[in-house]
Amino acid sequence: TLRCKDILDRQQSGTRLTLNIAPFVPKASTPFQWLPMASLQTLNRRLSLLKNNLSPKGIKLKSESPAWSQVQGVLARGDARVAEVLANIEEVTLAGWRRAVGKCHLDIDFYALRWNVSQKLPWAVIDSGIKPLYLEGELNKALS
């Protein structure tokens, strides 16, 4: 990113550089379904670090909301307990989500954990047509 910015500055074209970032959100039925999601605190710290280091260099940073990414992570890897939360949401806002989570006593950090490839995943009851062994192989390729 900084090299791109240096090249643009040397060309004096007036072109601005914008970096769009989004937190990693593991999704069910993908090779990354077993990987953990960073905590909200970690996501906020990383975003702040990027903003503080890139903004002074003239790089505009756009990002997904870490809090909404956390919601997305819970929804993407959720089980029947998440359905209760959804049934209790009175308004589709972050505050509404948090109230429903509190009312249902849902531990949202559970859904961000690393899953062991030998564990039965909550969404395994859904046949996506993709074999877990294939997904595991793709994960191993991606990590190597």
pLDDT digits (tens, 9 = 90+) for 95-123: 999 999 999 999 999 999 999 999 889 88
- Residue 1: predicted pLDDT: 67
Q: 106 near 117, Cβ under 8 Å?
A: no
pLDDT digits (tens, 9 = 90+) for 66-92: 999 999 999 999 999 999 999 999 999
Q: 77 near 111, Cβ under 8 Å?
A: yes
Q: 110, 109, 119, 133: which is closest to 31 by C-alpha?
A: 133
